[in-house]
Structure 1
């Protein structure tokens, strides 16, 4: 038979439960703030990289070869799985989509993981749409997959695509010149 040395609940110090609950909340909140700060810093690294690539492309004509070289060199020097050619192209798109880095530090996009940012870049064409879906993803705690699904299945978006699609317009007697 094993003996336990746990004190009975009655021996708990006065106010312990409240203290412990508050401590757990502080710990959770501190971890969340630390993760958010790290995420913002990482996104800023990606954004600055993209911005510099845009600038160097306009001055020196950097293109695909430079991006491929950067990816290869980083894989060699940092042995990282990230920083693929596609990742670096997304960094450039990121800087073009949000030209002001302050938006990353203070806007909804800065609270999203990189995978979510890629979904926004790949599936939406406007900054307003990207910001709107970034805010929705944060509010509802969406995964990147759920975010992509929400974008693709938004009723307003599907209706607009259908109305613009000449096949649908022509097939339903709509005059495509007025759409």
Structure 2
């Protein structure tokens, strides 16, 4: 391969590499968004089931057991995570807001905001900054 061809190849390869990495990042963000939206739906279902079954029926404990038995390869259905889902749903009640803002950040970051922020306004600040600034995990 001539020197010129080698330079052309490196530039071409660099462009391919960037497109692949960009596609991987978009796919990861899409998966995260769907996961957060699923968790929000599960949260609403949990809260509804708790109302139907009544206080003290241990809906979350039973659900954690059943989900981990049914989906052993999946993480995220432990009792603590189901409790986080319930807190998440109680804090972020507007589905449109969740779709447009909260679902754009990783679930672990959402949990941090739920557990560490003293108010919804403070949590919103920490959600909004990465979105406004264009920060991401890449």
Where on the TM-score scale, by shorter chain, does this alignment land: which range? Answer: 0.7 to 0.9
1:23-42 residue pairs with structure 2 within 5 A? 23-42=16-35
Match of 1:103 among 65, 79, 97: 97
Aligned to 2:82: 88
Aligned length: 134
Q: Is the 8 A contact 1:40 1:110 kept in 2?
A: yes
3-state SS of 1:74 partner: helix
C-alpha distance after superposition, 1:52-75 (max 9, x if no partner): 111222333255611101111112
C-alpha distance after superposition, 1:114-170 (max 9, x if no partner): 21111111111322211211233565558xxxxxxxxxxxxxxxxxxxxxxxxxxxx
Taking a change above 3 Å as real, the CA distance of residues 141 and 41 of structure 1, as seen in their structure-2 partners, is: closer
The unaligned stretches of length 5 or more in structure 1 are 1-6, 143-179
Deviation at 1:17, TM superposition (A): 4.7
Match of 2:60 among 41, 59, 67: 67
Q: Which has the higher contact order (CA 8 A, sep 6+)?
A: 2
Rg larger for: 1
- Misfit runs of 4+, over 4 Å: 15-18, 137-142
Taking a change above 3 Å as real, the CA distance of residues 25 and 62 of structure 1, as seen in their structure-2 partners, is: farther
Give the TM-score, by structure 2 length. Answer: 0.80
2-structure distance, mates of 1:101, 1:63? 28
